[in-house]
Amino acid sequence: MSSIVVMGVAGCGKSSLGAVLAQAEALPLIEGDDFHSAANRHKMAEGTPLTDADRDGWLDTLVAELARHPGGAVLTCSALKRRYRDRLRSAVPGLRFVYLAITPAEAALRVAARAGTHFFHGSLVASQFEALEPPLDEARVLSLDATLPTALLQIQVALWLHGQPAEARR
């Protein structure tokens, strides 16, 4: 099994689906947020969007983490831009992405609901959508509606990973 990145903007459910998916597929979970630097966490807590330069070291660390798991892993990572995804792909041939699509309004509601328990400031949701380059034309990407129940999302990912249904393959 190759590695899988669960991606999307803040509040789309990356961590929830990633945990369930890792357990179901018997793969280690790499929680991307755990690898942000203290400086990046501070910026996000203050409501300052990260720049490409801010994300460089973080992406380097995630590439190294993926490489440490040659048998596969589930990584949760916003992977907002194609160049970020390509950087992750450079470390893992055959890397797959599950893109959790969500509206700005729903993402804002979800981020607001976790205020006080997560370092990400709610004002940053808009900047995430500004940076987002949806992976709709990229190979080995499954796009899913982030508002579906996590259990249903996990089933859809499992079907895709294991070759069914044909309309889910890309």
How far is it, in rounded angstroms, from Cα 49 to Cα 101? 20
Per-residue model confidence as pLDDT tens digits over 66-118: 999 999 999 999 999 999 999 999 988 899 999 999 999 888 887 776 665 55
Q: How confident is the model at residue 167 (pLDDT cuts 50, 70, 90)?
A: very low
Question: Which of the listed CATH numbers 3.30.499.10, 3.60.20.10, 3.40.50.300, 3.40.190.10 matches domain 7-168?
Answer: 3.40.50.300
- Structure confidence by residue, pLDDT tens digits, 6-63: 999 988 999 999 999 999 999 999 999 888 777 777 777 777 777 788 888 889 999 9
Sheet strand arrangement including 141-145:
29-31, 74-76, 4-7, 96-101, 141-145
Q: Give the model's pLDDT for residue 146.
A: 95
Show Cβ contacts of residue 116 under 8 Å, excluding neighbours closer than 6 positions. Answer: none
Residue 49 has what pLDDT? 75
Q: What is the pLDDT of residue 133?
A: 95
Domain locations in the chain? 7-168
Residue 124 in this model has a pLDDT that exceeds 90: no
